[in-house]
Amino acid sequence: MSAQKDSCISSLIFLLFCACSIPRSGSASLQQEPSPQHYFSGLEAGRASLAFFTPSVSPGGQPFLEQIESSAEALQDYGISVVKVDCPKEDLSRYCGKENALRKAFLFRGSRLIREFPTDALFDVNSIVANVLFALLFNEVKYIETLADFENIENVLKGKSNMVFAYVPATGTAEHRAVMEAAFVYGTIHQFVLTTEAALLKATSPEDPDVSSAWLLFCHCQRATEPAQPCRRTALAQPLTLLNIHRHLKLMGAPLVTEVAEDPEKISTVHLQLGLPLVFILSQKETYEADRRTAEFVAWQLLGKAGVALLSRDLVDLNVLHRSNIALKTPDEGMPIQYLVLEDTDEVITLVEDKNKVKQIQEDEQEEEEDEDEKESNNQDIQDDQVVEAVSRDKKRELPLEQILVLTEENFHSSLSEAAQTVVLFYASWEAVSLAVLRSYSEVAAHLKGTPGVLLSRVNCWDWTGLCSQENVTQFPTLRIYKEGQQSVTYGGMWGTEELSSFILLSQVSCPLKLATMDEAEGYLRGEFPSELSSHHHTSLLGVFSTATSEAREAFEEAGNILSGHVRMGMYFEDDALALSQKYSVSPPALLLARSGGRSVEGIALSKHSVQDMVQMIRYELLDVFPEITVPNLPQYLQLRKPFLILFSAGDISQMESKEMLKLAKRRPQQEFVACWLNLKKTPVGHGILRTYFPTTPSLPVLLWVKLQAGGQVFKFPSEQPITEVNILSWLEKLQAGLEIPSSTLSEEDWKPPLPAYDFLQMMEHSMAELSPQPRDTPAEQPPNSPRGDTATQEEPSQESRAEEVGSPGRDLRGTAPRLAARDKQGKRHSEL
Amino acid sequence: LGLALYASSLCAMSGATFLYHDYCVIGAGPAGLQAAYFLQQAGRDYVVFERSHAPGSFFALYPRHRKLISINKQYTGKSNSEFNLRHDWNSLLSHDRRLLFRRYSRDFFPSADTMVRYLEDFASLLKLQIQYNTAIIHVTLEKNEQAWNGHYFILTDQDRKNYKCSSLLVAAGTWVPNVVNFPGSEYVEGYETVSINPEDFAGQTVLILGRGNSAFETAENILGVTNFIHMVSRSRVRLSWATHYVGDLRAINNGLLDTYQLKSLDGLLEGDLEDLAIVKDKKGKLHITLRFYLENRNISAGIDSITLPQDELDNFATRAPYDRVIRCLGWKFDFSIYNRSLRMMPGKGNIKKYPQIKPSYESRGTRGLFVLGTASHSVDFRKSAGGFIHGFRYTTRAVHRLLENRHHGVPWPSTVYPITQLTNSIIKRVNEASGLYQMFSVLADIILLRENATAFEYLEEYPVGVLAELEMQTGRKAHNGLFVIIMEYGRNFSGADKDVFYYNRAVGEAQHAWQSNFLHPVIYYYKRLPTEREMRLRPPEWPLPQPDAIHHIVEDFLTDWTAPNAHILPLRRFLENCLGTDLRNFFAESCFLFAFTHQKLPPSCQQGYVRMQGLVGSQELRHHAVQAGLLQDYTHMDFLGDRPPDSHHGSQEQLRDHGIPVRPLQHLVNAKDE
C-alpha cells in the first residue's frame, strides 16, 4: 500500500518539476531586500514575486508576516519568490511611503504589478498559495457564477478538450489551494473552472450535495464530437486534496479500455500503479466486437474505480478454465489473478465495488492491526509460546512423580544394573518441552504402575550435566530404555502418554520375538502371546523364514532393532515354517500381518532383502488403507507426500460412506492420494481446519481434496452429490483436468518472527556516541577520529541540498517524497486551524 | 655466556643425540599439568620439564604466608559439576572426580601446601609424563622445512642435555621477582626472603613497597605487632570488588585499609619508587629521601650531609624513620633462556612482565611456541582471569584444541543441533558454563548456522580474539552467519575509582538489559565472520566488532538465567529476528492444524511433529494453553452454527493465525444458475 502511495507521490512530484522549469534562486526561501530600489532593479522579466514592504524599524512583528514567511517555501515550488523589502526611514516612494501600503502584499510578474492583496486575505499558507496562484493563473482557471456559464464553456470545449470543474465553499481554503495547485500543473491540458456558488453545485451534482464541502467533476468534453452529445462527467469521490486530484486526472487521462495481448501477470497499467484493480475482459475472435462494447460499457461504469482491459484469448495461451470470461488483477503484490465466470456486467461492477469495499475493510483492519502492532511491540515481553506459557501456568501443581526413580551421577550406573530394563527420561528442569513431557511421563508411570519388570526413572540434566553429556544426551527431552547387556534404545515417537506407554510395553519383549512352536506363532498372530503384550491391541507382524533364507532373516532382525518399541514383530523359522506360511497362501520368506487382534491375517511375500527397504516396507504395510486421521497418526501419512482425499465427519462415518471410500482406496495398490477420514468428535481441531477453508462450516460430512504439497489447493466435493465411488472418481477426473475451482488455498506464508526483538544495538548507539564513528568500512589507514571522517558526515546533507537545487526531471525523485509529505501534513494542520 | 651456550648447543646438535617429542612443556605448575592432561588424553607425544623435584614448586614457596586467595567453595546448593566449577578456583580440569579441590581442603581460602599436594596428586593419579629436576636453561630454533612450524625447538637443560620438539608450550609462570634499583635499595628486604614470623617485627616501623596482594598479605601478617606500617607505590589502590579483577587487592587482605582510614597509624602513600632513596643512619634506622637530593651530594660524606625532605618541608609525610623496608613488587616472566631468534619480547606498558603473545596464545615472535598459564595473562591483564588457575585451565584447553586442529586434523569439538534447540543450547551454556563465566569477554561459545538456518553447530570456549581466524583455527565452516556468546560486565561499571554500590546498580527489566552492570551473557550476531581488520578496528572497550544485532540477557542476582519471561523469551525473540523464523514450540494439535492449513510449517512442527515426535501435552497443559489464549479449544464447537466464537478471537491474534483469505467470488459463481 505504501509503495503505491510512494509511486503516486513521486510521479506527482515529477509532474511538478516538469511544470516549473523556472530556475529557482537560492536555498533560503524568504528573500530580504535592503530597499525598494534594490528590489525593483533585480526583478527578472516573467518571473513572479510576492513582495511586502516593512519599515526597517519594525513596529513589532505583524501577524501575517509569519504566515507569509512560512508560505515562501510552498510558493517557491511554483517559481514565485517571496521578498521582504525593507523600507529605509527616509523612503517615501509608492510602496514604502503610504501607511496603508504596509498592510498589503504585492504580486509582480517581472516588474509589472499584477495584484495587491490586503493582508486579511492572506490569513494562512493555504490562502496565500491559493490566492497567489489564482491571480497568476487568471487565464487558465475560469471563475463562473451561473449554470449558463458552465454550459457555455462545455459547448465550447466539445471535441476539443476536457474540463475540470471544481466547487469550493470559499476561496483561500485548503481545497481551493489544491485546485489551484492542480491547475498550475494541468492548466494547459484541461480547462479548469472554479465556482463558489452553491447553486451551481446543486445543478451539477446528482444527489443533494453538502454545500460546505468541495466537489470536483471531470467533464469528458473531448469525446463529445457532436454538439448535441452531452459531456460525460465523472466526479471525484475522495476529498479534494492535491494528491487525490492528481490521481483522478491521471485516471481520467488513461485510455478507457486497454487492449492487451500478453500474459495478464505481466500487465501493469496506471490503475494498478495507483492501487486500483484491473478487470480483464477475456475476449475471443468471434465475439470481439461485442466484447469491446461490453468492455467500454463496463469501463465507463468503473471509471475512477478500476481499469478495464480487453484480452484476446486467441493471442495469449492462458492456462485457465475455458469458461472463464473475466479476470481480476489486484494491485496487492503476490495476490494471484482471479479468473471468474460472470454472467452480466452488473456482476463485474459489484465485484469491483465489493472488492474495494473488502479492501476498505481490510485497510481498516490493517490500521487496527497496525495499532495492535504498536501495542504488541510493547507486548514483546508477553509470552506467546503456547508450551512455555502452559507449563509456567502449571508450575505450582505438584507432579505425582513418586513412581519415578530419581537418578543421579552417583546412582545411575548401579540402578541400571539392578533392573532388567530401565526407562530413563533425560530432561532439563528449566526447559518447557521437557517439563511438558515430564507431565505425560508421570501419567505413564501411573498407567504402568505395577507392571512387572518396568522401572521408570529420570535424570535432571540441569543437576547432572556431566552424566547427560557422558550418556551423549544433547537434546531435551530424551527418553531411553537401557537393557542389561544390550545397546540402549532412544525413543523417537510422539510424546503422548499412550505412545510412551506402548513403547515401554513393546520394548519389554525382544524385537523381533523368536517364536519356537507353531502354537506360539498362531497365538502370536491372535495377539495372545506373549502374555505381556496381550493388552496391547496393535497390528502384529510375523516374519516367516525357511532355514534357507538366512539373508532375509538377518535383514528382518536388523529391521526389528530399528523398529523396536514401535512395532510388534515376531519371527518364525522352524522346520514347519512352510506349512505356516502356506496357510496364508504365501511361501517363505514372507510377512504375516495380523490386523485388529488377528481377525484378518494377510500374507506378503518378502522380495527385498536390504534392511532399509524392509523397514520402509514394514512401515508402509502398517498404514491403514482408509485410516481415520488423528493428531498422533497424521505424520505417518504426511510422509507419503501425497494429496489427501479426506472426509470430515461429525462423528463416525456411515457404513455406506465407509464402504464406498474403502472401495475407492483399494482400487489401485499404489494410490496417488491418501484416502482418509476425520472424526470431528475425536479430533475437534478439524473444526479449525474447516473454518480456515470455508467462511461458514459446510454441512457434514464433507469430502475434500487437499493438495498439501504443491499449490495447496483445497477442493470440495459437491455436497448435492452422494458420496459414491463413481461420483468421486468422476469428480477427481474433472479436478485433475483443471475444471474445478478450488474452494481455498493453503497459506503460503513463511513462519516469520511473531514479534520484533529489543533493538539493543540501536539503544546502545543512541546512548553511546563513541560507537557510531566506527563504521564497518572505514579504510584501515584512516584513524577513526581523523578529520576526513568528520567532513564526510558534513558533506552528506550539503550534497542533498545541492541535488534539490538542480531540480532537473531526470534526477532521482525518491529523496523528495518525504519533503512533499511533510508539506502536505503542514497544509492539513493549517486547514484545521 | 650466551655465546658459549649457543656454541655448546651447536655441538650437541652435531652430535644428533636429541630426545624428540612432538610437544615439550616447560614447567609442571598448574598450567603445565593442565596442558599435559589434555595432551595425554589426546594420546599425544609430549613431555613436561620441571626444574624442581615435584610439581608446583612456586606454590611450595609462595604465597609466603601460605594462604591462597582463590576461593574453594564447598557448597553452592547445586549438583551441576560444570556450574560448581564457577566457584572452585583451584581445581584443574580432568575427568577424575577425585581431583576436585574441595576434596583436598575444607577451607574457603585454602593453604598453599594443599595446592602442592593437589598438584602432586594430579600429576601422579593421571600419570602425566613429567621429567623432574630438569631446568631448561636455553631454548633455540633449528630450521627444518619438514617440521610442523618450519623449525624445531631445541631445549637445553642444566646438564647440557638437549631435547628437540615440534611444538613448545611455555608454562613457566612468572617467577623472577621485580626489583627496583634506587640509592639505598640494598637495605630493602625482598618478599621472597622476608621473615614471616610476626615476632620479628614486634615494635618496629615498617615500610612496604608495592600495593598488590603480596604487599597487603605481608602487612596483614604483621599488622598487629608493628608500630605502624606505611605502604608506598606508584598507583592508587585497586580493590578487586571495584574492578572485578581477581588480581587486584582482595578483601581478605585489606586490613591495612581499615587501619589507615580509621587513623590507626598505618597509611598508604603514592609515589614513584624510581624517585626514592633510602639512607641509613648511625642507629640503623632507614630514612626516606629523594634521589634528587642525592644526585648533587657526595654520598660518602655520610648521612649528616644528605638533605632529607623534612629539612625543607617540615611536615613531610614519611619523615619518621623506618626499621625495615620490604619489597613486594610481584614477579615477571623469565626471558633469559630464550635465544634471540625466538624473539620472545616483553609486552609494552603495564604488561611488560609478560611475553608478547597473540590472542591465540601463540608467541608473536615464533610460530609453534605457545605461552600458557600466568605468563599468558597479557591477553586479558586486569580484565579477566587468564592469569589464574580458574581462568587459564580453560585457555589451556583452548590452546590444546587449536593445536589438535592445526597438527592432527582434529577439528574443534562441536555438536550439531536442529534449530529448534537454539534457545535451549544457549540457555544451558550461559547457566552452567564455567569457562565462559571465568574467562568472561575472552572465551566465547560460537554458534555456526547451517544453510537455511535449519541446524547449527555449537563450539565451546573459543578465544574471541581470534574470531576472524575461526575457520582456519577450528576447521569448521562459518558461511551462514554466526552467534557469539560471551559474558560481560557493564562497560562503565568496573574501575578502581568507581562506586560499585550505588543505588539502582542492578537492572531488572529485560528491555533495559543492555545496561546491565554485573556479569551477564551477551550474544552477538554476525551475518558473516568479522574480518581481521574489523577485529582490529573494533570500538574501544568492545571485545568484538560491531555486530549485525546484539542481545543482552538481563543480569541476574542469582546468575540463574532460566526465567521463561525475563530471560528466555527476549532471547528467543532476538534469535527469531536474526534468523527470520518462528522458534516457538507448538503442541501436536497446533501442528496438525498447521499441516492442513499451511504449505509451510514452523520449525518446531517441522522438526518435531512431522518426524513423529510431536508434543502431545497432557490435558492440563492444553487446558492452560487454551486459557492463555494461545491454543483454541474446538471441543465445544457448535456443529451447525458458523458464528465465530468471540471468546477465541484473542487467541487467533496471538497466534497470528495466518488465515486463508475468504473468497467471496465463490458465492457469485455458485448462486447464479441461469
Q: Do A464 and B621 touch (CB under 8 A)?
A: no
Interface of B with A in 645-664 (CB under 8 A): 653-660, 662-664
What domains does chain A contain, in order, with CATH numbers? 31-120 (3.40.30.10), 139-252 (3.40.30.10), 254-352 (3.40.30.10), 405-622 (3.40.30.10), 633-745 (3.40.30.10)
CA-closest candidate to residue A38, choices A48, A53, A60: A53
Sign of the dihedral through C-alpha A89, A92, A93, A98: positive
pLDDT score recorded for residue B3: 44
Tell me the nearest-neighbour CA distance from B556 into chain A, angstroms: 15
Mutation target for B interface from A680, A758, A771, A777: give the one with most B CBs within 10 A: A758
- Tell me, yes or no, if A611 comes closer than 8 A to chain B by beta carbon: no
Tell me if residue A218 falls in helix, strand or coil.
strand
Tell me the nearest-neighbour CA distance from B161 into chain A, angstroms: 43
Mean of pLDDT values over B151-177? 94
Mutation target for B interface from A326, A370, A386: give the one with most B CBs within 10 A: A386
- Tell me, yes or no, if B300 comes closer than 8 A to chain A by beta carbon: no
pLDDT score recorded for residue A357: 56
Residues B290, A255: Cα–Cα separation, whole Å: 100
Residue A715, H or E segment: strand A713-716
pLDDT score recorded for residue B94: 95
pLDDT score recorded for residue B641: 42
Interface of B with A in 413-432 (CB under 8 A): 415, 417-418, 421, 424, 427-428, 431-432
* Residue A478 grid coordinates: 530424551
CA distances from A401 to A391, A466, B99 (A): 16, 23, 35
pLDDT score recorded for residue A381: 82
Phi-psi region of A807 (alpha: psi -120 to 50; beta: other; left: phi over 0): left
Greatest mean pLDDT range, A226-235, B233-242, B437-446 = B437-446
Interface of B with A in 556-575 (CB under 8 A): 562, 564-566, 568-570, 572-574
Average pLDDT, chain B: 87
**Cβ contacts of B491 on chain A, cutoff 8 Å:** 768
**Model confidence at A542, in pLDDT bands (50, 70, 90)?**
confident
Whether residue B429 has pLDDT greater than 60? yes
Tell me the nearest-neighbour CA distance from A817 into chain B, angstroms: 29
- Tell me, yes or no, if B592 comes closer than 8 A to chain A by beta carbon: yes
Going by the DSSP 8-state scheme, the letter that residue A751 receives in this structure is: -
Q: Which of A375-379, A493-497, A564-568, A784-788 has the lowest mean pLDDT?
A: A784-788
Going by the DSSP 8-state scheme, the letter that residue B659 receives in this structure is: P
Residues B581, B420: Cα–Cα separation, whole Å: 11
CA distances from A395 to A436, A717, B297 (A): 10, 47, 83
- For a pLDDT cut of 70, what percent of chain A falls above it? 80
Q: Give me the amino acid identity at B361.
A: Y
- Tell me, yes or no, if B438 comes closer than 8 A to chain A by beta carbon: no
pLDDT score recorded for residue B654: 40
Whether residue A779 has pLDDT greater than 50? no
Residues A497, A823: Cα–Cα separation, whole Å: 65
Could you say which of B562, B564, B618 has the minimum Cβ distance to residue A439? B618
**Model confidence at B494, in pLDDT bands (50, 70, 90)?**
confident
pLDDT tens digits, B262-296: 888 888 888 888 888 898 888 889 998 888 777 76
CA-closest candidate to residue B344, choices B10, B33, B26, B29: B26
- Tell me, yes or no, if A771 comes closer than 8 A to chain B by beta carbon: yes
**B474 neighbors B405 (Cβ within 8 angstroms):** yes
Block residue for cell numbers 578502581: B496
Q: Do B621 and A340 touch (CB under 8 A)?
A: no
Whether residue A367 has pLDDT greater than 60? no
**Model confidence at A273, in pLDDT bands (50, 70, 90)?**
confident
- Secondary structure string (H, E, C) spanning B60-116: HHCCCCCECCCCECCCCCCCCHHHHHCCECCCCCCCCHHHCHHHCCCCCCCEHHHHH
Q: Which residue has the higher pLDDT, A771 or A186?
A: A186
Interface of B with A in 116-175 (CB under 8 A): none
Interface of A with B in 339-358 (CB under 8 A): 340-343, 347, 351, 354, 358
**Cβ contacts of B648 on chain A, cutoff 8 Å:** none
pLDDT tens digits, A623-647: 888 889 999 999 989 988 888 999 9
Whether residue A536 has pLDDT greater than 70? no
Whether residue A204 has pLDDT greater than 90? no
Judged on CB neighbours under 10 Å (0-12, 13-18, 19+), A817 is middle
Mean of pLDDT values over A769-794? 40
Looking at this predicted complex, what is its ipTM?
0.87
- Strand-pairing partners, residue A556, are none
- Tell me, yes or no, if B674 comes closer than 8 A to chain A by beta carbon: yes
pLDDT score recorded for residue B497: 83
pLDDT tens digits, B353-373: 999 999 999 999 999 999 999
- Tell me, yes or no, if A778 comes closer than 8 A to chain B by beta carbon: yes
Whether residue B5 has pLDDT greater than 70? no
pLDDT score recorded for residue B660: 38
Exposure b/e, B2-41, CB count within 10 A at least 16 = b? eeebbeebeebbeeeebeebbbbbbbbbbbbbbbbbbbbe
Give the angle subtended at the CA of B76 by the CAs of B70 and B80, to the nearest 5°.
105
**Cβ contacts of B513 on chain A, cutoff 8 Å:** 758, 760
Residue A684, H or E segment: none
- Tell me, yes or no, if B504 comes closer than 8 A to chain A by beta carbon: no
Whether residue B80 has pLDDT greater than 80? yes
Interface of A with B in 684-703 (CB under 8 A): 684-689, 691-693, 695-697, 699-700
**Model confidence at A810, in pLDDT bands (50, 70, 90)?**
very low
Q: Which residue has the higher pLDDT, A768 or A149?
A: A149
What domains does chain B contain, in order, with CATH numbers? 19-175+332-402 (3.50.50.60), 185-329 (3.50.50.60), 414-579 (no CATH), 588-622 (no CATH)
Whether residue A831 has pLDDT greater than 60? no
**Cβ contacts of A433 on chain B, cutoff 8 Å:** 585, 615
Tell me the nearest-neighbour CA distance from A632 into chain B, angstroms: 7
* Residue A655 grid coordinates: 457404513
**Model confidence at A669, in pLDDT bands (50, 70, 90)?**
low
Mean of pLDDT values over B569-593? 93
Whether residue A768 has pLDDT greater than 70? no
Residues A489, A564: Cα–Cα separation, whole Å: 8
Could you give the strand order of the β-sheet that contains B324-327, starting from the edge strand earlier in sequence? B188-190, B324-327, B205-209, B228-233, B267-270
Whether residue A22 has pLDDT greater than 50? no
Q: Could you tell me where the DSSP H helices lie in B439-541?
A: 470-474, 532-536
Q: Do A338 and B514 touch (CB under 8 A)?
A: no
- Tell me, yes or no, if A600 comes closer than 8 A to chain B by beta carbon: no
Mean of pLDDT values over B594-614? 91
Q: Which residue has the higher pLDDT, A135 or B588?
A: B588
Tell me the nearest-neighbour CA distance from B656 into chain A, angstroms: 8
Q: Do B635 and A753 touch (CB under 8 A)?
A: no
**Cβ contacts of B84 on chain A, cutoff 8 Å:** none
**CB atoms < 10 A from the CB of A758, how many?**
22
Could you say which of B427, B612, B615 has the minimum Cβ distance to residue A436? B615
- Tell me, yes or no, if B643 comes closer than 8 A to chain A by beta carbon: no
* Residue A540 grid coordinates: 502384529
- Tell me, yes or no, if A769 comes closer than 8 A to chain B by beta carbon: no
- Strand-pairing partners, residue B230, are B207, B267
Nearest chain A residue to B564 by CA distance is A388
Q: Which residue has the higher pLDDT, A14 or B232?
A: B232
pLDDT score recorded for residue B101: 95
**Cβ contacts of B583 on chain A, cutoff 8 Å:** 753
CA-closest candidate to residue A689, choices B245, B216, B634, B10: B634
Mean of pLDDT values over B506-523? 89
Beta-carbon contacts of B235 under 8 Å, excluding residues fewer than 6 positions away, are B211, B270
Residues A251, A267: Cα–Cα separation, whole Å: 17
End-to-end CA distance of chain A: 29
Nearest chain B residue to A566 by CA distance is B612
Whether residue B340 has pLDDT greater than 60? yes
pLDDT score recorded for residue A319: 67
Mutation target for B interface from A279, A389, A644: give the one with most B CBs within 10 A: A389
Residues A626, A182: Cα–Cα separation, whole Å: 69
Residues B582, A385: Cα–Cα separation, whole Å: 10
**Model confidence at A126, in pLDDT bands (50, 70, 90)?**
confident
**A298 neighbors A283 (Cβ within 8 angstroms):** no
pLDDT tens digits, B378-425: 999 999 999 999 999 999 999 999 999 999 999 999 999 999 999 999
**Cβ contacts of A691 on chain B, cutoff 8 Å:** 644
Q: Which of A266-270, A370-374, B468-472 has the lowest mean pLDDT?
A: A370-374
Whether residue B566 has pLDDT greater than 50? yes
Nearest chain A residue to B533 by CA distance is A780
Interface of A with B in 509-568 (CB under 8 A): none
Judged on CB neighbours under 10 Å (0-12, 13-18, 19+), A69 is middle
Q: Which of A355-359, A778-782, B219-223, B612-616 has the lowest mean pLDDT?
A: A778-782
Q: Which of A423-427, A731-735, A802-806, B547-551 has the lowest mean pLDDT?
A: A802-806
Average pLDDT, chain A: 77
Whether residue A820 has pLDDT greater than 50? no
pLDDT score recorded for residue A453: 78
pLDDT tens digits, A592-621: 888 765 567 788 887 777 888 888 888 888
Nearest chain B residue to A638 by CA distance is B610
- Residue contacts between A and B (CB atoms, under 8 Å): 321
- Phi and psi for B192 in degrees, rounded to 5? -60, -30
**A111 neighbors A43 (Cβ within 8 angstroms):** yes
Q: Which residue has the higher pLDDT, B5 or A234?
A: A234
Judged on CB neighbours under 10 Å (0-12, 13-18, 19+), A71 is buried
